Amino acid sequence: MTVVAAATKSKPINPSHLTTIVIHIQNAQSYHTHKSSPKHSKPHKPPRKPIQFLTEIKQIQDPDEALSLFHQYHHLGFKHHYPSYSSLIYKLAKARNFDAVDTLLGYANTYNVRCGEALFIGLIKHLGKAKMIDEAIHVFNNIKAFNCVPTVQSFNTMLNVLVDNDRIDDADLMFGNARKMGFRLNSVSFNVMIKMWLRKGEWDAARLVFDEMLERQVEPSVVTYNCQIGFLCRRGELDKAKGLFDDMNRRGQRANAVTYGLLMEGLCCLGKFKEAKKLMFDMEYQGCKPRLLNYGVLMTDVVRNGKWDEAKTILVEMKRRRIKPDAVIYNILINYLCKEGRTMDAYKFLVEMQVEGCEPNAATYRMMVDGFCSVDDFEGGLKVLNAMLTTNHCPRVETFCCLIVGLSRGGKIDDACYILEEMYKRKLRVNLKLWESILPAVSRKGEAAIELVNELIFAG
């Protein structure tokens, strides 16, 4: 990816957008004279008019159509400033249309548009998610070309992208050259490097970074301690973790709910549930209110050990304290019940969470559909599938296939065909093993089903 590239072919603009563009451009860019205010009264600033282009672009879902709108405004004489570029580049980067992003950066450079650092931080993050690391480095190195002075914020973003994509040597080199590059490292910079070494299991290397942090008189944050405490707890080294916790308190850094949650998890892993529960109630005396994540640690442990009555007690305790369970808490319960074959009990929790105003997430629906399939209740699974699709979530391909086979064998061919249609709409790919399970089930059920299967084969 280059900073300046040739313009990409744009999608034709929707004609409905064109009727008022010229008027809006004239209104946005015309000059007005105002009556002078009385001598002793404070002049009132007129309310800032919304930029019509930005208003329209927020309503457009299709990134190509948004790019066409940008060009249309430009051809009609509208002068795009930083907000226009920022809004559109964010939309295009999210859609991974980086060629179009390149084109816009070229325009910004040509028209000498002064860009904000936030634009480049967002772009570097999106390039990192797309595994386009060299392109992200190129963007970082060219920030100054856009009348923007990079700060340690963009440095940390680039460093984090390198770490998250396992570019260890590059991250280490960048961190070591920070001063030469003109950046003063802060706690976030050190936290990223500590995270990197802990992920690699290199405790000693992480501690060297921590020691350097203290030498440079950079104040460790709660995140600095939490990532180290979490690492030690996962390794069962609870005494060392508690030592760090004490060091944290000595330095005046207050532990948060995450800190206590990590220690509680460490205790639970060593079979010390009672101590973990006591720690959760003790944290309140230390001025840290228990949060959902702390209850989640306890709930996970009792469910993992099959202590269902204890799980219900925790749920009652939460409600007594007016702590509303979230999707994560409900998912722990639903997952346990589905694995135990108690699908209808799990379904009651699905209904309860919706009544309580807690929105099920994709994992909730997937567990429920798979749970119904595991007990051969394919009609129950279909009912949950419908709710899932309505909320724009989608199950695994294997779940679709399991429902098709189960419904076909039960004589529910119309329902099986409906699921085939939903798969076709979503252009889902089915591997050979799954086809081998679907074909015998639907082939004896009529031409309509066979036709749908053929369409899916050609679509894949």
Tens digit of each residue's pLDDT (9 = 90 or more) over 124-138:
999 999 999 999 999
The answer to whether the pTM exceeds 0.85 is no
Inter-axis angle of helices 378-390 and 362-374, nearest 10? 170
Whether 414 maps to a domain, the answer reads: yes
Burial of 162 (0-12, 13-18, 19+ CB in 10 A): buried
pLDDT at 24: 45
- Residue 400: which domain range? 396-460
What pLDDT score does 112 carry? 85
pLDDT at residue 52 in the model: 67
Dihedral over alpha carbons 153, 156, 161, 162 (to 10 degrees): 150
Give the pLDDT of residue 48.
59
Three-state SS for 288? coil
**Tokens linked to 216:** 């440079």
Per-residue CA distances from 203 to 207, 230, 259, 340 (Å):
6, 12, 18, 39
Q: How high is the pLDDT of residue 34?
A: 46
The answer to whether residue 3 is domain-embedded is yes
Residue in 226, 189, 193 with CA at minimum distance from that of residue 207: 193
Using an 8 Å Cβ cutoff, are 175 and 182 in contact?
no
- HSE value, Cβ hemisphere, 13 Å, CA-based, for 207: 9
Q: How many CA atoms lie within 13 A of 253 on its CB side?
A: 15
d(CA 106, CA 189): 30
Angle at CA of residue 427, ends 431 and 347, nearest 5°: 85
**366 domain residue, yes or no:** no
- Of 150, 182, 216, the one marking the end of a domain is 150
What are 147-197's pLDDT values in tens digits? 899 999 999 999 999 999 999 999 999 999 999 999 999 999 999 999 999
Q: Which residues of the chain have pLDDT under 50?
A: 1, 3-36, 459
Structural domain total, the chain = 2
pLDDT for the residue numbered 458 = 52
Domain boundary residue among 150, 174, 204? Answer: 150
3-class DSSP state of 401: helix
pLDDT for position 430:
63
Q: What's the chain's length in residues?
A: 460
Within a domain: residue 349? no
pLDDT reported for residue 433: 56
**CA–CA distance, 238 with 267 (Å, rounded to integer):** 8
What torsion do the CA atoms of 120, 125, 126, 132 make, to the nearest 10 degrees? 100
* 382/372 Cα distance (integer angstroms): 9
**Chosen domain end from 150, 169, 190:** 150
Can you tell me the distance from the alpha carbon of 256 to that of 249, in angstroms, rounded to the nearest whole number?
11
Domain annotation covers residue 4: yes
At 438 the pLDDT is 60
Residue 291 placed within a domain: no
